[in-house]
Amino acid sequence: MEPVVRMRSVVLDCPDPRALAEFYARVLGGTPQGEDDEWVVLDVPDGYRLAFQRAPGFVPPEWPRADRNGQQFHLDFDAGSTWEAIDAAQERVLALGARPLDLDDEGGKRDWRVYADPAGHPFCLCRIDHPA
User: DSSP code of 69?
Assistant: S
Question: Which residues are bridge partners to 114 per DSSP?
Answer: 102, 124
CATH T-level assignment (fold) for domain 65-132: 3.30.720
CATH class of 1-55: alpha beta
What pLDDT band is residue 4 in, cutting at 50, 70 and 90? confident
The C-alpha atoms of residue 77 and residue 2 are separated, in whole angstroms, by 27
Domains 1-55 and 65-132 share a fold: yes
One-letter amino acid identity for 16?
D
Predicted confidence at residue 132, as pLDDT, reads 63
Tell me the domain boundaries of the chain. 1-55, 65-132
Catalogue the long-range contacts made by 43-47 (C-beta closer than 8 Å, 24 or more residues apart).
none
pLDDT in tens, 30-50: 999 998 889 999 999 988 999
Q: Number of helices and strands (H, E) in the chain? A: 2, 8
Please state, for a pLDDT cut of 70, what percent of the chain lies above it: 92
Are 9 and 104 spatial neighbours (Cβ–Cβ below 8 Å)?
no
Claim: this prediction has a pTM higher than 0.85: yes
pLDDT in tens, 84-118: 999 999 999 999 999 999 998 787 788 999 999 99
One-letter amino acid identity for 106?
E
Please count the other Cβ atoms lying within 10 Å of the Cβ belonging to residue 108. 8
